[in-house]
Chains A and B, each alone.
Chain A
Amino acid sequence: AQKITQTQPGMFVQEKEAVTLDCTYDTSDQSYGLFWYKQPSSGEMIFLIYQGSYDEQNATEGRYSLNFQKARKSANLVISASQLGDSAMYFCAMRGLNSGGYQKVTFGIGTKLQVIP
């Protein structure tokens, strides 16, 4: 079984500051992937960043970076230089395999980020 845990229901950050959104996971798979998605108030799911379990380097995409600590089973999202448009719900997700060997993607409950001017 795989599980994603996001323990911060809500976060505030000052504009232009950096913020870290926590995500821990649990899986028995050797090969898996970790994602972060952003969901603004308009409702769409926007892909931000992906980290594969065998990737040695932490993933980065512009202002987004993923702090991947495999031994701790954590995949925290770091947003640098926060902007007002970053205010949204953020979901951590994991791709693994189910008992039948098929791909399975599980989402955490999300963290609501509010950027303060």
Chain B
Amino acid sequence: EPEVTQTPSHQVTQMGQEVILRCVPISNHLYFYWYRQILGQKVEFLVSFYNNEISEKSEIFDDQFSVERPDGSNFTLKIRSTKLEDSAMYFCASSVNLRGPSTNEKLFFGSGTQLSVL
């Protein structure tokens, strides 16, 4: 089965530093997402991306966050100036394969990047 890949699996950074989390969605998918999960808590939506632009973002996704699809394969999440409360697992996901059956609706998740802000 195709996979969403995320790198790195763990990232440790100092407060105030910029981080870039990288994702390679499944190649013929159309929607891309970032979610985050603070340890033991719910999966929180950050942003969705469709047709090279943000289709929705949550209140969490403030000016410190940005997403980019720089080269047609990677999908990145940038946090400009990290805060302690940004420490979480960040999941990338992709969905909607128009070349596949319409029942193929699930989100394919990457294995996550654990971000620790010190």
Contacts and interface: CB of A to CB of B under 8 A. Distances in A.
Give the secondary structure class of A's interface: strand
B75 interface: no
B18 interface: no
Interface string A26-65: 0000000101010000011101001010000000000000
Contact of B42 (A43, A103, A107): A107
Give the contact-size bracket for chain B: 20 to 34
Given A33-B105, A50-B106, A52-B103, A105 B111 contact: no
B61 interface: no
Contacts, number: 69
B43 A107 contact: yes
Contact of A43 (B44, B89, B105, B106): B89
Classify the secondary structure of B's interface with A: strand
A24 to B, nearest CB: 16
Chain A CB within 10 Å — which of B42, B50, B103, B111 has the most?
B42
Given A91-B43, A103-B31, A47 B105 contact: no
Contact of A102 (B56, B111, B114): B56
A102 B32 CA distance: 12
